[in-house]
Structure 1
Amino acid sequence: MIQRRLLLAAAPSLLAAPALAQSWPDRPIRLIVGFPAGSVTDSLARMIAEPLGRELGQPVVIDNRPGGNGVVGTMALKGAAPDGHTVGILSVTNGALNTYLVRNLGYDPIRDFTPIGFLAEAPYVLVVNPNNPARTTADLMEQARRRPGALTFSHGNASSLIGTELMNRTAGVSMLPVPVRGGPDALTEVMAGRIDCTLTDLVAGLTQVRDGRVRALGVTSREPTPLAPDIPPIARDVPGFELIVWFGVSAPANTPAPVVSRFNAALEKVLGSAELRERLGRLGYAPRSMPPTEWQRFLQGQITDLTRLAREVGLEPS
């Protein structure tokens, strides 16, 4: 009798789960991007939005909320209703590095969000103004050695900051960081000649390289990227250097499991499309799918590893 009563009590929730999965989504899905239009995160979001919307049967609308190295947008995601109609991108910056670099951070990437799945990873490219005589990363490092503390680098997010500080430390030089609003602004400062160099997203950097507005010195991956095989890895001149940026999708905490499961299945189908993979590859992204539990473990591991790295290169919370 007790078991029967328990089954009867559980019946409404057991029936509700399939019904929820079938009825969701019943309106457009908002995809929050905590970085400005034109940033690497924004570019990726716009690439997946249309095919993901087709798969889910509702439009996926990009909502850019830049500011505070992704904090503004991530806080907006935290405060959204956990009904599956608002999701956001967690990247190496707002998903991992901010937990160490931002004092009194208003969110916890693990506790405050429900994992949905991984998206992609990509390298950065190191660029200088075309008037700079440096032709290689080694040339730039030699400039920095001859003029300690005189060269500057712009950064619009924490991953670019830590990447350049890692290059500083590995090469034994000291270039000064200049924070700006986002990756596009960091690149603009170099094009204008106000800043010496920056690590920028691959496609934006290559576009400006082709237009003659900046010169590429190296990529942050250990191997040349197929998108620009003529640009050598920074590690050729700074042995041991590597920086890969990554992106995943999460929802507010307590988003229902049936919604998460269906969203992840749609995401995996989209990322498995040969056409989309080819398009993402042209922009320097390597798509990779993960189930929610694996994405959560990956995120936790990155928080641990990048916190250690930030401490090693001497960065302090602010």
Structure 2
Amino acid sequence: MLGAALPAPARPSQGWKPPRTVTIVVPFAAGSGTDAITRILAQQLEPEWGQPVVVENRAGANGSLAASQVARAAPDGLTLMMTTNTPHAANPALMKRLDYDPVGGFTPIARAGNYTFWLVVGEASPVRSLRELLDRARARPGEVTYASGNSTGIVAGATIARMGGVEMTHVPYRSTPPAMTDVIAGRVSCMVVDVSASLGHVREGRLRALGVTSRERSALVPDVPSLHEAGLPGFNVVAWAGLVGPARMPPEVVASINAVFRRLWERPETVQRLAGIGFEAKTSTPEEFAEFIRGEIAHWGSMVRAAGIEPE
């Protein structure tokens, strides 16, 4: 008598993989820090998925153009966004009207980490310290200008002026690279910019760093003082990035993308590569990232109000 058929041996699940090209939308221009970290991720995802991973730069409206585009995309895992504290935490306080819901319009996938930001001036500037910058602004109210290419630059610049008791004029840009160009050329006095986008300019002497925006010195650039220790006690502005997709993505797709992202992002060689451009890698579960975003919306709203910034 033939024995009963045995069940086929269980095979390990390979998880979801995209059937075709995946697009990761970046809310800032090529050359920005967010662009740099997203291209590192795309390079690693392609061999994992066996599909092209395209980085699409959609700069403008403080990241709102990119966020609106992704919120309207199909929730199939083929359109993702490397978001930051600009579209997903600060914009609700900085803008009177948003074309997207930073909570309900997206599916959080994973936190990516923190940027290191610092205050810089051009090489031709006579300013060599935070104190000298504040003294100059105090002597010439409104003549000292600060550029911004994202919400961190906006909020940190206004907070420096408020805490320093000086008047500085804000010069906004669509993204970081053109803002840096004008600081280097001396057309704008200073800016708060991420190390990821500006480290090369500092190393080559085109920009001079006056202080990092985190309360403590950064392990990534330990020789640069914090603005807190340089003369603004309590100053602490930390920017972050993370991966999101449109709302209502299937849970199995979210879980699969989170798993592959965390495995790639936590590799020592990836952590080291990111650190080399001034980015501190961190990861999370989708649920942890969702809770983090809600908390950051409240936190950045408080900072915007404290800095006296009126929504536009």
Give the TM bin, normalised by the shorter chain. Answer: over 0.9
Q: Secondary structure at the match of 1:63?
A: strand
How far the C-alpha of 1:140 sits from its partner, in A, is 0.7
Q: Report the equivalent of 1:131.
A: 124
1:162 pairs, out of 131, 151, 155, with 155
1:96 pairs, out of 89, 98, 102, with 89
CA distance in 2, matches of 1:233, 1:41: 22
CA distance in 1, matches of 2:177, 2:127: 22
Kept in 2, the 8 Å contact 1:189–1:195? The answer is yes
How far the C-alpha of 1:212 sits from its partner, in A, is 2.1
Q: Report the equivalent of 1:315.
A: 309
Q: Report the equivalent of 2:184.
A: 191
Matches within 5 A, 1:44-55: 44-55=37-48
Q: C-alpha root-mean-square deviation of aligned residues, in Å?
A: 1.6
CA distance in 2, matches of 1:281, 1:186: 23
Gaps of 5+ in 1: 1-19
Cα deviations across residues 80-136 of structure 1 (Å, max 9, x unaligned)? 111111110220101111112112201011100011110010121111122222111
CA distance in 1, matches of 2:134, 2:183: 17
How far the C-alpha of 1:22 sits from its partner, in A, is 4.5
The number of residue pairs the alignment matches comes to: 300
TM-score by length of 1: 0.90
Matched letter for residue 213 of structure 1 = R
CA distance in 1, matches of 2:153, 2:14: 39
Change (3 A) 1:174 1:252: same
2:224 pairs, out of 231, 235, 245, with 231
Matched letter for residue 295 of structure 2 = G
1:207 pairs, out of 190, 197, 200, with 200
Q: Report the equivalent of 1:173.
A: 166
Greater share of helix? 1
Matched letter for residue 112 of structure 2 = L
1:302 pairs, out of 272, 292, 296, with 296
Q: Report the equivalent of 2:3.
A: none
Kept in 1, the 8 Å contact 2:59–2:66? The answer is yes
**Correspondence 1:268 to 2:262:** yes
Q: Secondary structure at the match of 1:69?
A: helix
TM-score by length of 2: 0.92
2:210 pairs, out of 217, 223, 241, with 217
CA distance in 2, matches of 1:301, 1:208: 34
Q: Report the equivalent of 2:61.
A: 68
How far the C-alpha of 1:186 sits from its partner, in A, is 1.1
Give runs of ≥4 in structure 1 deviating > 3 Å. 20-24
1:84 pairs, out of 63, 74, 77, with 77
How far the C-alpha of 1:187 sits from its partner, in A, is 0.7
How far the C-alpha of 1:21 sits from its partner, in A, is 7.8
Cα deviations across residues 250-297 of structure 1 (Å, max 9, x unaligned)? 111111110000000111101110110010111111111110011000
CA distance in 1, matches of 2:189, 2:16: 53
Change (3 A) 1:122 1:22: closer
How far the C-alpha of 1:307 sits from its partner, in A, is 0.7
Kept in 2, the 8 Å contact 1:50–1:59? The answer is no
CA distance in 1, matches of 2:149, 2:204: 22
Matched letter for residue 263 of structure 1 = I
Identical residues among aligned pairs (%)? 38
Matched letter for residue 34 of structure 2 = T
**Correspondence 1:38 to 2:28:** no
CA distance in 2, matches of 1:73, 1:65: 5
2:273 pairs, out of 276, 279, 302, with 279
CA distance in 1, matches of 2:163, 2:45: 40
Gaps of 5+ in 2: 1-12
Matched letter for residue 200 of structure 1 = V
Q: Report the equivalent of 1:113.
A: 106
